[in-house]
Every structure is written in C-alpha cells, then in structure tokens.
Amino acid sequence: MKNISRTIWLLSLISLFTDFASEMLYPIMPIFLNSIGFSIVWIGIIEGIAEATAGLSKGYFGMLSDKYSKRVPFVRFGYSLSAISKPLIALFSYPLWIVFARSLDRLGKGIRTGARDAMLSEESTIKTKGTIFGFHRSMDTLGAVLGPLFCLAYLNFYPEDYKTLFFIAFIPGLFAIILTFKLKDKNPSKIRIDFSDNFFSFLDYIKKAPKEYKKLVIGLLIFSLVNSSDFFLILKIKQAGQTDSFIIIIYIFYNLVYAFFAYPIGIISDKIGLKLTYMSGLFLFSIVYFVMSFNFNSTLFFILFFFYGIYIASTEGVSKAWISNIVSKNDVATAIGAYSALQSVCTLIASSLTGLLWFYFGSTITFIVIASVVFLLIFYFIIFTE
C-alpha cells in the first residue's frame, strides 16, 4: 500500500460512493424498465445511447482537461451530474425522459473519467500503473458490492418498490460530491476554461498518436463491438427462471470477486505484463459467454460469474494502464478519452445489435456469436500489439 497516495485514496473513495449509488440501481434497472413497458430492443437502445453519451463526452472533456492542465473541476462536475441524475430517472416513465436522465448520468461519467484517470496516472509510474489502476478499480467495485447489498435488503422489506431506490441513491452520490472538494490540482493556477473547441476535435489526436496506440485501440474497439451491456447477462438469468433476489445476489457476488481481485491482478500485471493479463481476461470472457448460452443451472451461474469477475478485473483498469504507458503523460486524458469516445460508438452498436440478435434468434445464438468473436480477437492482440 506504500504506492497509494492521498489523492488515490480520495479518488477511490469518491468512486466507491458513486458506484454504491449506481450499482444499487444497475441490477434492477432492466427489470424496472421492463416493468414500465420497455421491450428488450428499447432497453438495448437506451443503454447504447447512454453509453454513447458517456464515451463521446469522455473524448471532448478529456481533451479539455489536458489542454488546460486541469483535473479537479472536471472530476467534481462529472460526479455531481451523476448524483443528480439518479432520482430524475424515477420521476417520469416517458421514453424520452428516461433517455435524458440516463444520458445525464453517463454525461457525468464522460466529463470526469479522462481527468480522473489522468490524475491516477500522475500519481503512478510505469512500473506501478497496473497496481494503481487496480487499487482504484477494487475500491470502485467495493461500492458495486455494497450498493446491490443495500438494494437486496431494501427489496426484502419493500418488494418491487424500485422507484424509491432511485431517490435513495442520491445520498451516497452526495458524499462523493463532498469528497471532491478535498482534491487539489497539481497546477493550482486559475485558468478560465472555454468550450469553443469543436466537440469532435479530440479525434485529431488519433492521427498523430503513436502506432502502438492505434494498434491497441483497434483491438480494444473490436472487443467493444461485441461487448454489449451487462443488462443482457441479467436478462439471461431472468430468462432462466431466477428470482429478482437471486439476480441481485449473483450480481453482488460478481462485484465482490471483481473488487477482491482487481488490486492483486493489477500488481501481477505490472510483473507479467499488461498485454498477457488483458488477453487472459478476454479468454475468460469468451468461455463465460459460451457456457452461459446453454446454462440454466443456478450453481453454474455462480461459477460463471466468478470467472466473469476475474475477466473484468483483468481488463478494465489494465486497458487504461496499458494506454497510459504508451502515450505522452501530457496526452493521457485525451488518449483515454479518444479511445472511450470511439468505444462508446461501438457500445451503442453492440447493445443495439445484441438486442436485435436476441429478439430474432434468441439468447443462445447471441451468446455463442459473442464468445466466438472474442476468442478470435485474442489472436489479433498476440500478432499486432506489443
């Protein structure tokens, strides 16, 4: 823990409280949307639009953060928007309102992510990137354990009272906002930030980026094209006849595995290499989706979600650490933001196509197709990335 600075602790606790709020709602979100009349196709489209909003804004605001050498204002405003959006979702059940509120949440994520990751990168070295990003992911995901636990306890006393949870979620979000006022920029000078740049001007970075960055991003984006929202995993379990409580419990279990392993896997990735760690995660993802396509056994669901937790711990923070190691330290927020922007477009396509594929061909074919593409993608990383 000697590499964990005060800033890293603060960012990690802020993420913990925010994920407490977000993940309290995540396992019930598709169930809630379905209960108020949204079809599987609409759920996929809404989630795709929300993630597209997050990704595109990551690119723009990441670029601004690098341009003005400012991190804290973006972090603070981003977390504030996400906190405010939670109760808004439950106010009205109109499709456009749900899209707006969900997109506001993701916009907040987009505004803060590049600046926050740049702050994490600034607090680490090339030899500790995996460790630092892994620690942050562990703390972040601990919130993703506590949130669903609270959700499970609440629904035990108030079954199907989903709307109230959206209002309760504002409380941990408020704690996160308060903690952002403890953060300090390394460059304390006051600079007036304007937003005159073209929203898509961050894409110019890709033209001048290192070749290693471009090759890596191509592989990451191909994965994004088939890595649709986890909502579909939740709906797959629901299709198997499991209860809402079972879904929340297994989601808690998955996040507990993620939280427990993200930090040690981050440490291991600094020793064996970020590339090998990431490819190992993809292999586990492929296996989980393939077996999930045929599975209706509750015990096997737990085994699959154990390995799914290992997969996400091996890829989420590792991919960002990998990017930050191959670009200039002055371009970290832009580089991660540009990738995230393109990733969001791929996620929009992935979630929408997954919904359509499921609608026309069923969940089994959908999951087999996804598993096959990801398995083949591993060979791309072996051949084309360093």
Residue-wise pLDDT tens for the chain (386 aa)? 677 889 999 999 999 999 999 888 877 777 777 777 777 677 767 776 776 777 778 888 888 888 888 889 999 999 999 999 888 887 876 777 877 888 888 889 889 988 998 999 888 888 898 899 999 989 988 988 898 889 888 988 888 788 889 899 999 999 999 999 999 887 665 555 555 566 777 778 888 888 999 999 999 999 999 888 787 888 888 888 888 788 878 888 988 898 899 999 999 999 999 999 999 999 999 999 999 988 778 889 999 999 999 999 999 889 988 998 888 888 888 888 888 888 878 877 887 888 889 889 988 999 999 999 999 999 999 999 87
Kindly state whether residue 78 falls inside one of the protein's structural domains. Answer: yes
Q: Which residues contact 147 (CB under 8 A, 6 or more apart)?
A: 19, 20, 21, 22, 23, 24, 25, 26, 169, 172
pLDDT at 294: 86
CA 163/CA 153 separation, integer angstroms: 15
pLDDT at 191: 53
Going by C-alpha positions, the residue among 228, 247, 229, 230 that lies closest to residue 238 is 247
Tokens 């597209």 correspond to 52
pLDDT at 330: 81
pLDDT at 32: 76
Q: Would you say 251 and 234 are in contact if contact means Cβ atoms under 8 Å apart?
A: yes
Give the largest CA-CA distance in the chain.
58
3-state class of 17 per DSSP? helix
pLDDT at 242: 84
Kindly state whether residue 47 falls inside one of the protein's structural domains. Answer: yes
Kindly state whether residue 307 falls inside one of the protein's structural domains. Answer: yes
CA 368/CA 354 separation, integer angstroms: 12
* Structural domains in the chain (count): 1
Q: Would you say 375 and 248 are in contact if contact means Cβ atoms under 8 Å apart?
A: no
Q: Would you say 148 and 26 are in contact if contact means Cβ atoms under 8 Å apart?
A: yes
Kindly state whether residue 33 falls inside one of the protein's structural domains. Answer: yes
Kindly state whether residue 274 falls inside one of the protein's structural domains. Answer: yes
Kindly state whether residue 212 falls inside one of the protein's structural domains. Answer: yes
pLDDT digits (tens, 9 = 90+) for 295-335: 778 889 999 999 999 999 999 889 988 998 888 888 888 88
Range of the domain at 232: 6-184+204-384
Query: Helices 244-272 and 231-239 meet at what angle, rounded to 10?
Result: 140
Residues in the chain: 386
CATH of the domain at 283: 1.20.1250.20
Going by C-alpha positions, the residue among 238, 191, 222, 203 that lies closest to residue 319 is 222
CA distances from 355 to 39, 40, 191 (A): 9, 6, 45
3-state class of 215 per DSSP? helix
pLDDT at 10: 94
Q: Which residues contact 155 (CB under 8 A, 6 or more apart)?
A: 28, 161, 165, 244, 245, 248
CA 301/CA 149 separation, integer angstroms: 18
Kindly state whether residue 266 falls inside one of the protein's structural domains. Answer: yes
pLDDT at 196: 56
Kindly state whether residue 217 falls inside one of the protein's structural domains. Answer: yes
